[in-house]
Structures are given as C-alpha cells and as structure tokens.
C-alpha cells in the first residue's frame, strides 16, 4: 500500500467533508468528531461527488440524489450489502494521509 498525503487536518473541521485528490483518484475525506475517514468520492448511483455532500454524524449524503453512506465502513445505510471503497487514514504532523492499494 502507498501512503499519500491528501490534506492538512486543519482544513477539514469536525462534521465536514472535502473532495481531495490522491494522484488521479478522487476521494472524499470526512472528519467525524476528530477521526478522519476516506471513501471513494463517486456515488455509485449516478456519480455524485460525495465529498461535496452533507455529513450527519458518520453518514455522508450524496448532494445529487440523497443516497446515504457510512463513511466508517463504506456501506449504504439503506442497503448495507451495497458498499463503496473506503481507505485507512492516519494523521502525521498535522497532515492527513490515506493508504491506497
């Protein structure tokens, strides 16, 4: 796995998300009560940018059609069998890193 810096931790306040890039990969970075979580930025429903949506607790809401995703597991809240990729994160010296395969 490769560790890639995607943001400064201070750029993503608790309860918010951002679209970040890891090379050519678009990811959604969320801060859930000080813990950082990264999921694929593309909603499988119609391709909406999940990092631009709202965050309610640990659930990201797609801004296009309201599909809801648990950012800690990648599972859809209505049908947990449907999942999107989520990636391990770490914070080192104030920077958020994501582990990519």
Average pLDDT over residues 53-63: 97
| pLDDT for res 1 | 74
Q: What is the pLDDT of residues 62-100, one digit of tens each?
A: 999 999 999 999 999 999 999 999 999 999 999 999 999
pTM: 0.94
| pLDDT for res 78 | 95
Predicted confidence (pLDDT) at residue 27 exceeds the cutoff of 90? yes
Give the C-alpha distances (Å, rounded to integers) separating 13 from 18, 36, 97.
10, 10, 16
Domain boundaries, the chain: 2-100
70 Cβ neighbours under 8 A, 6+ residues apart:
58, 59, 76, 77, 80
Q: Which CATH number fits domain 2-100: 3.30.70.2190, 3.40.50.2300, 2.102.10.10, 3.40.50.1400?
A: 2.102.10.10
């Amino acid at each position: 796995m490769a560790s890639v810096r995607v943001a400064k931790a201070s750029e993503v306040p608790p309860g918010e998300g951002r679209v970040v890039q890891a090379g050519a990969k678009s990811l959604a970075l969320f801060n859930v009560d000080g813990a950082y979580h990264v999921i694929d930025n593309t909603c499988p429903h119609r391709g909406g940018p999940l990092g631009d949506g709202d965050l309610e607790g640990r659930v990201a809401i797609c801004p296009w059609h309201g599909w809801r995703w648990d950012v800690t597991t990648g599972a859809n809240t209505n049908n947990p069998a449907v999942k999107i990729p989520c990636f391990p994160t770490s914070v080192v010296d104030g920077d958020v890193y994501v582990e990519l395969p």
